Amino acid sequence: MPAPVPSGYTRGSILFIPACQDEKSEGHLLQYFWEEAGAYGARIAIVAGDKESAAVAARCRALFAEWETDSVEILSITSREESLQPGNLEQITGATGILLLGENPVRMATFLGGTPLAQAIRRANARGKVAAGYGRGAALLCEHMIAHDSRAADDTHHPFLHRHLIQFAPGLGLTNRLVLDTIPAELGDSWNRLSRLLHAVAYNPFLVGVSLEVDTGAVIYQDNSLEIFGRHSALVVDGSGITYTDIADFRNPDPLSLLGVKIHALADNFTYHLQERTARPPESSDIPQDAVPVKAMT
């Protein structure tokens, strides 16, 4: 569960940043995190949850240093012993922005779950500090994670929905309203992503299922609004209006049935309110997108 917000504080933003096609796109999305963390005055703690993330962590640190960030520290936390080190806890407590990296969020949860470090990350966010996840590690920010897709990469025999399609695992719980699909690319086509999100909200209609295209991020603000940023779009699945599902009938061999679901495709600057369950386009502006006034036709 998210940590309670103390009196006088406002909960910090929560950012989800998927894998990017190139370093230019990566820098564009990470700039959103940098600005939310305080820009030039930011104190950033990068939590690298596996050895494979070391190169990404170094690249992020170099980028933040180039932007003249106040301080950037990399915390290598690849075991439960490392997560219990007091020095790591101090870095999280003093940071204005926390960035989680890791391609195996389920493994990361096994050595972060229930530790003072995990509590410090939740409490920091409840006290206005920004938390973000990059790549598959972004799923760790949620209370519920889609941990596994039962299909093999070349499996075309399963129905679109069946009762044992996915498995859930607990995350750090900075938000309990959203479940993020970060299954790797070989199982990440649009059709499979939609089926996993439908399955997730069928199990728990309180959740909002979200899948982000490459080079496209999302941020939850303190008012429970979700905003999309980046080059492409996000898939949002709302199960709050479900009128029927037979997902609990585990022994039924027939494909899963599901009625009353809403699906949204949201591009840059579109928003979705997680409590009101409403999607909105960007607000209109008199400023042209290219910042150059268009001459009136005569």
Q: How far apart are the first and last CA of the chain?
A: 60
3-state secondary structure 159-182: CCCCCCCEEEEECCCCECCEEEEC
Q: What is the pLDDT of residue 156?
A: 56
Q: For 38-78, how does the pLDDT look when each residue is reduced to its tens digit (9 = 90+)?
A: 999 999 999 999 888 999 999 999 999 999 999 999 999 99
Give the bridge partners for 149, in sequence order: 166
CATH class of this structure's domain 14-280: alpha beta
The domain locations on the chain are 14-280
Q: What is the pLDDT of residue 283?
A: 86
Band of pLDDT at residue 286, cut at 50, 70 and 90: low
With vertex at residue 190, the alpha carbon angle to CA 33 and CA 266, rounded to the nearest 5 degrees, is 50
Query: For the residues 2-8, what does the mean pLDDT come to?
Result: 94
C-alpha separations of 230 from 136, 182, 215, 245 in Å: 17, 17, 6, 34
Q: How far apart are CA 163 and CA 160, in angstroms?
A: 10
Q: What is the pLDDT of residue 255?
A: 84
Collapsing DSSP to helix, strand or coil, 148 comes out as: strand
Q: What is the pLDDT of residue 295?
A: 46
Q: What is the pLDDT of residue 32?
A: 96
Enter the pTM of the model. Answer: 0.90
Q: For 215-230, how does the pLDDT look when each residue is reduced to its tens digit (9 = 90+)?
A: 999 999 999 999 999 9
Phi, psi (rounded to 5 degrees) for 220: -100, 125
Whether 28 contacts 229, CB under 8 Å: no
